[in-house]
Amino acid sequence: MKLYERKWQLIWEKEKVFEADPVKGKKKFFITFPYPYVNCSPHIGHSYTALRADMMARYNKMMGKVVLYPQAWHLTGEPLMGAAKRIMAGDDKQFQTFKKAGVPERIIPSFKDPKKMASYFIKEWDKHFHKLGMSTDWRRTFFTTRLNKCYNRFVTWQFLRLKDKKLVGKGSHPIIYCPLCDSPTGSHDRLKGENATIVEHLMIHFRMNDGTVLPAATLRPETTYGVTNMWINPEVVYVKAKVNDEEWIVSEQAFQKLGSQGYDVELVGEVKGTELIGKTVDNPVTGDSVYIFPASFVKPENSTGIVMSVPSHAPYDHMALEDLKHERRFKKKLDSIVYVHLIDSPGFDEHPAVRVCEMKGIISQQDVKKLENATSIVYRNEFHKGEMNKNCGSFAGKKVSESKEGLIKYFEKKGWGSRIYETSEPVVCRCTSQTHVKLLKNQWFIKYSNKAWKKKTLKCLSKMRIYPEEARKWFENAIKNMNAKACARKSGLGTPLPWDENWIIEPLSDSTIYMAYYVIAKYVNSGELKENNLVPEFFDYVLLNRKKKGVAKRVGVKKSLLDKIRKEFEYFYPVDMRSSGKDLVPHHLCFFVYNHVAFFPEKYWPKSISVNGWVTSEGEKMSKSLGNFLPLSVVIEEFGADATRLALFDTAEGLDDPDFRKDNAISFIKKMGRLLEEVAVLKKSKASKLDDMDKWLLARVQDRVEKTSSFLDSALNRQALQEAFHGMNSDLIKYLNTKKLNKKVLEYFFNVFARLMVPFAPHFSEELYLKLGKKVLVHNSSWPKVEKKFVNKEIQVLVDYKDALMVDVKSIQRLIKKDAIDLLTVVVASDWKNEVAECARKAVEKGKFRALIKEVMNSKVKRYGKRAAQLAQVYAKDANKIPSVILGSKKELRILGQNKNELEKLFGCKVIVELDDESGSEKAVKALPMKPSIILE
C-alpha cells in the first residue's frame, strides 16, 4: 500500500470532507448501493459496485454538489443464522471455513451468537472500506434486523403502511420440495435438475361411469377438444383415493403430489393398470365417451400418470395408436377412432403429429429421442403460430398463444379441470430422494402483481435514467412479468411481521426504501433519537409529511428536531443514483422502484439506476470451487487502493464483467509513480510564448476534459478513465518528447490532470496536487471546465497531418529499402484541388454521392475543366479518399515549414517543401489535398 494513501484518508476524515449535511441553495447528489450481506470478509468482487458508486460520488462532489454517499450492512436472512447454528452444534466444516477465511481461531466459538459473528464481519468490512478511501459519510451507518432496535422499528413501520395500502396479502405459492428433508430444495441443494423450474399443468377430469375421476394432466388443455382415447401404463399399480370428496384414480406419486398441493386426499385402495384397460371414460369438455388403452410411454412419476390421447397433435399419441394396431384385441375399438384436427398452423394441413412422425421416420413409441423432438416441433409451431379451428367450441378462431390462460380459467370454472404443478425436469434432492412441487399455503406476499402498482412502477422506470441503457429492456421485462413475492419466512434473522410475529421479513423485502433511513440514522447514531422515539407516527411525519397535532409529544422529541429531520429528508430525497450489480436487476432493483412509488410522491421517486458486471480474476470467474477469491485485505496490501480502483475501472463498464489482473494493477502503480516524478520537469521548464505544441497540448486537454465529463455523465467508468488517464498520459508523453517545455502549459496540464483523476485515483490526485504546491485539498477544488480559449481543432489537425506525413515517409522508405535519404521533397496540392475536394465533401454530406461528379462539375470549380473532373472521378470511385478536414495549401505549407527542422532531424536529410503547380517534378501531380506527394532521393 502506497504510504501516502493512509495519510490522505486521515486528512479527509479529520477535515470531514465526506460528511454531507443540507446546504441551502446548493444542489445535492444522493447515491447509494445495496448494503452488502456480511457473512464473510470482503473480497475484491464486493468492492467493485461500491467503488463505482464512489467514483460517481466524487465526480458529483467536484461538480459542486453536496454529495451523500452512505453505507450500511445487511444481516437479514438465513446464512448468518445458519452458520451460527452450525457453530453452536460444533460443526467442524463450518469452523474450518471461518478459519480459512482468516478469522482467528479463538474468536470462532463466539460465532454461535449471530450478533457476535455479524459484528466481527462488519468490523472487517468497515476496516477495508476505509482503506479503500471511500468517500462515505460514516456517521449514517447501521445494520439491519431486530438486532438493531431502531432499524427494526423502521421496517415494522414500513410493513404496517404497506398493509394499510393493501399491498401485502396472504396466499400460496409453489416450491420444489423434498418430502424426506421436509424443506424446499433450492438449486444448490440438488443432485439433478439444477435448472428445473415450476410448470403448471391442467388436469382434465375424465369420468368413468361410476363417477370416478381419471385426471389427465396436460400442458395443452386446448387439445381436450380432440381426445380420442386415454392412456394408462399397464405395468403400474395406481391408487384409488378420495380427493376433495370425489373418487380419483392416479399414480402413487401423483397422490403424494396432490396432497402437497392443497388437495384434500385420502387413500382408499389400489387399482392395477391392466384392470382399467378397455374401460371407457367421458370427456368433460366434449361429452364424448372414449376407451382406455395401454401405453408404455406413460410414466407414473409424470403428473398424474394418466394421459389423454390427441393423436392429431401429439406424436406420442399417434405412435402409441400405431403400435396398438399390431394387437388383435384392440382392433374393433381402434376402428372407431377418428383423429380430430383442432389447430391450424402454417406448414401443416391436417394432423401435424402424423405428418411430423412421417417426416422424422418414427416407427414406434420406443423411439423416444425422435418423439421428443417431434413433440417440441409441433408444440412450438402450434403455440406460437397456431389458431384454433371450428372443432374448439367457443375458442374457434382464437390464437393458441393468446387464449391459453383464458381457456384454463374457463375449464376450471366449468369444473372440467384443475391445476397441478410439475418440475420442468426431474429434480433429485441432495439426500437422493425424488422431489416434487409443494404448494406453501398461508404465506405472506407483497403484491407486485397488482396492476395499478405495476403501471405506476413502469411509469417511474420510463422517467428514470438507466445506466447502461441496454439494461432498460431487462427491467421492463422483469417488472411486466413480476408476480407476488413471498415476503416472510419462519427462520433466519430479520424483522418480525408486525401483525404475525411468527414470520420474519425476508431480505429482499426489508431493503426497498431503507435509503430514507440514512437520513434518520445520523440522528440515531448521534443519540438525538432513541428507539422509543421511533414510533410509526415519527416515520409518518418525517418521511411522509403526515402532520398530526401533538405528534412531537407522542414521539417524545422536540418538534424542531422532527422538522429538522423532515427538512433533511426533503433535501436529500430522491435517490439520484442507485448503483448495483446486474444480478439484482430482476428483483431487488425492481422492488426498490416498486416500493418507492408506493410510499412517496412522484418528486421523491428514484432518478436513476446504474448496473455493473461481476468481477473476474485473471480472466476466471471467482468461485468457491476454484478458490480464487481475492480478499480485499490482500489486494489493498499489495497494490494499494488507487491501483486497485484503476485496475477495476479500466477493464469493463456497463453490463460487462471487469477482470482484475495483477499485472494491470502493477502497471498502474508504475505509471502513477512516474507521473508523480514527472512533476519535477516543471522545475526544468520555463515560461515562454505558446508555440504549436503548447497550443496542441492545451487543446488536447480540453478534449480530454470534455470527453471524461461526458463519459462520467453516463457512468461509463472505462471510457472516462481512458480519457482522463491513458489519454492525458499519452498526450503528455508526446509533448515531453518534443523537448520544448513550457512551464505554464505543464502547470496547467498537471493541475487539470490532478482534478480529472479524483473520481478514479483520489489519493494519487491529492498527492499530485500537493506536489504542484497547492495548499488546499483537491477534493475541495472543482471539476475542470473546458476552457474555450484553448479549444483548437485546427492545431490538432495540423499535428495529425504532420504525424501522418512522417508515417508515410517511413513506410515508403521501408518499401524501397532506402536506408539513407539525401533529399526529401514534400509537394503540397494547390488550392484548386482543395476546392474540388471541398465540393466533393459537401456532395457526400448532402447524400449526393451518386451524382458526385455532376455535383462537383456544376459548381464553380468547373472553370478548372478537365483537371477538376479527373480529380472528382478519383473521389467518386472511393468516397473514403475525400478528406474530412481540408486545411488549404497555405496552412499545409505553413505546418510543414514549421516542422522542417524536425523532419530534417528525423530523416537526416535536407527537406524541401513546395506547391505542386510550382514543382518541376512529375510526381507533383499526384499531390492531393491533405495528402502531399512525397519524393525521396
- 936 residue type, one letter: L
Inter-residue contact 116 to 33 (CB < 8 Å): no
Cell matching residue 573? 430525497
> Shortest distance, CB of residue 666 to RNA, whole angstroms?
5
Contacting RNA within 804-843 (CB under 7 A): 807-808, 810-813, 815-818
State the Cα torsion 878-880-881-886 to the nearest 10°.
140
Quick check: 3 binds RNA (CB under 7 A)?
no
Nearer to RNA by Cβ, of 393 and 468: the residue is 468
Nearest approach in angstroms of CB 362 to RNA is: 20
Between 525 and 719, CB nearer to RNA: 719
In terms of CB distance, is 602 or 918 closer to RNA?
A: 918
Does residue 734 bind RNA (CB under 7 A)?
yes
Long-range contacts of 774-778 (CB under 8 A, 24+ apart): 777/11, 777/12, 777/15, 777/17, 778/754
- Cβ closer to RNA: 21 or 425? 425
Tell which one of 288, 656, 706, 787 touches RNA (CB under 7 A). 656
Q: Within 60-99, which residues bind RNA (CB under 7 A)? A: 74, 76-79
In one-letter notation, the amino acid at residue 8 is W
Residues 356-385 that bind RNA (CB under 7 A): 376, 380, 384
Among 277, 655, 853, 909, binds RNA (CB under 7 A): 655
> Can you tell me which of 96, 364, 366, 477 binds RNA, judged by CB under 7 A?
477
Residue type, 434: Q
Using an 8 Å Cβ cutoff, are 49 and 581 in contact? yes
Size of the site for RNA (CB under 7 A): 97
> CA 843, CA 849: separation in Å to the nearest integer?
6
Residues 737-756 that bind RNA (CB under 7 A): 737
Nearest-approach distance from CB 122 to RNA, in angstroms: 13
Task: Examine residue 4 and tell whether it contacts RNA (CB under 7 A).
Answer: no
Single residue of 368, 626, 634, 879 touching RNA by CB under 7 A = 879
Checking 707-714 for CB contacts under 8 A at 24+ apart, the result is 708/756, 709/783, 712/55, 712/56, 712/59, 712/759, 714/467, 714/468
Cell of 548: 398530526
CB 68 within 8 A of CB 30: yes
Residues 6+ positions from 478 with CB-CB distance below 8 Å: 585, 586, 587, 590
CB of 725 to RNA, least distance (A): 8
Considering the complex, state which of residue 719 and residue 781 has its C-beta at the smaller distance from RNA.
719
Residue among 228 and 651 whose Cβ is closer to RNA:
651
Closer CB to RNA, 187 or 244, in the complex = 187
> Please, what's the b/e burial string for 900-912 (b: 16 or more CB within 10 A of its CB; e: otherwise)?
beebeeebeeebe
- Sole binder of RNA in the list 741, 844, 853, 857 (CB under 7 A): 844
Q: Which is nearer to RNA, 625 or 884 (CB)?
A: 884
Give dist(CA 525, CA 392) in Å, integer.
68
Query: Strand, coil or helix: what is 279?
Result: coil
Contacts of 418 (CB under 8 A, 6+ apart): 202, 203, 205, 215, 412
Only one of the segments 238-246, 273-281, 475-483, 756-764 lies at the binding site for RNA (rule: CB under 7 A); that segment is 475-483
* C-beta of 63 vs 458, nearer to RNA: 458
- In the list 13, 358, 470, 637, the residue contacting RNA (rule: CB under 7 A) is 470
Interface residue with RNA among 274, 286, 302, 664 (CB under 7 A) is 664
Q: Which of 667, 738, 792, 796 binds RNA (CB under 7 A)?
A: 667
Residues in Cβ contact with 97 at an 8 Å cutoff, skipping those fewer than 6 apart: none
Residue type, 717: N
Quick check: 122 binds RNA (CB under 7 A)? no
**386 binds RNA per the rule CB under 7 A:** no
Which C-beta is closer to RNA: that of 355 or that of 931?
931
Q: Which stretch binds RNA (CB under 7 A): 340-348, 548-556, 646-654, 892-900?
A: 646-654
Picking from 768, 775, 552, the residue whose alpha carbon sits closest to that of residue 675 is: 768
How far is 253 from 261, CA to CA, in rounded Å?
Answer: 12
**Residue 474 in contact with RNA, rule: CB under 7 A:** yes
Residues within window 20-59 making contact with RNA, judged by CB under 7 A = 37
- Evaluated on CA atoms 125, 131, 136, 138, the torsion sign reads positive
Binders of RNA in range 611-640 (CB under 7 A): 619
SS3 state at 665:
helix
Q: Answer yes or no whether residue 666 interacts with RNA by CB under 7 A.
A: yes
The position carrying cell 422499528 is: 153
| Nearer of residues 128 and 485 to RNA, judged by Cβ | 485
Tell whether residue 652 is a contact of RNA (CB under 7 A): yes
Closest separation between CB of residue 676 and RNA, Å?
13
Contacts of 99 (CB under 8 A, 6+ apart): 105, 108
Binder of RNA out of 87, 598, 669, 868 (CB under 7 A): 669
Question: 280 or 302, CB closer to RNA?
Answer: 302
Residue closer to RNA (CB basis): 223 or 251: 223
Least distance from RNA to the Cβ atom of residue 842, Å:
12
Question: Where in 183-202 is the site for RNA (CB under 7 A)?
Answer: 184, 186-189, 195, 197-198
If we measure between CA atoms, which residue out of 104, 136, 149, 182 comes closest to residue 18?
136
Rounded CA-CA distance 508/587 in Å is: 8
Beta bridge partners of 579: 610
The least CB distance from residue 637 to RNA, in Å, is 12
In angstroms, what is the minimal distance from the CB of 923 to RNA? 6
Q: Which is nearer to RNA, 331 or 384 (CB)?
A: 384
105 vs 103: CA distance, rounded Å: 6
Please say which residue, 267 or 879, places its beta carbon nearer to RNA: 879
Ranges within 480-539 binding RNA (CB under 7 A): 482-486, 489, 492, 506-508
Which residues in 550-569 contact RNA (CB under 7 A)?
none
Write 352-358 long-range contacts (CB < 8 A, 24+): 352/312, 352/313, 352/378, 352/381, 352/382, 353/311, 353/312, 353/313, 353/314, 353/315, 353/317, 353/318, 353/378, 354/311, 354/312, 354/318, 356/315, 357/315, 357/318, 357/319
Q: Which residue from 164, 663, 789, 920 is in contact with RNA, where contact means CB under 7 A? A: 663
Interaction with RNA in 217-276: which residues (CB under 7 A)?
none
User: SS3 helix, strand, coil % of the chain, rounded to 5?
Assistant: 50, 15, 30
Please state, in angstroms and rounded to a whole number, the distance separating the CA atoms of residues 419 and 202. Answer: 5
Stretch that binds RNA, among 306-314, 358-366, 733-741, 742-750 (CB under 7 A): 733-741
- Structural contact between residues 701 and 749, judged by C-beta atoms closer than 8 angstroms: yes
- For the chain, what is the total number of helices (H) and then of strands (E)? 34, 32
* 26, 149, 170, 674: which one binds RNA (CB under 7 A): 674
SS3 string, 550-597, reads CHHHHHCCCHHHHHHHHHHHHHHCCCCEEEEEHHHHHHHHHHHHHHHH
Residues 693-722 that bind RNA (CB under 7 A): 722
Quick one: 670 or 905, whose CB is closer to RNA?
670
Query: Under the criterion CB under 7 A, does residue 729 sit at the interface with RNA?
Result: yes
Closer Cβ to RNA, 213 or 797, answer by number: 797
To RNA, the closest distance from the beta carbon of 816 in angstroms equals 4
Helix axes 900-907, 793-815, angle to 10 degrees: 30
Q: Which of residues 909-928 bind RNA (CB under 7 A)?
A: 923, 926-927
When binding is defined by CB under 7 A, the residue of 730, 782, 858, 901 that contacts RNA is 730
Please pick, from the candidates 254, 466, 471, 635, the single residue that binds RNA as defined by CB under 7 A. 471
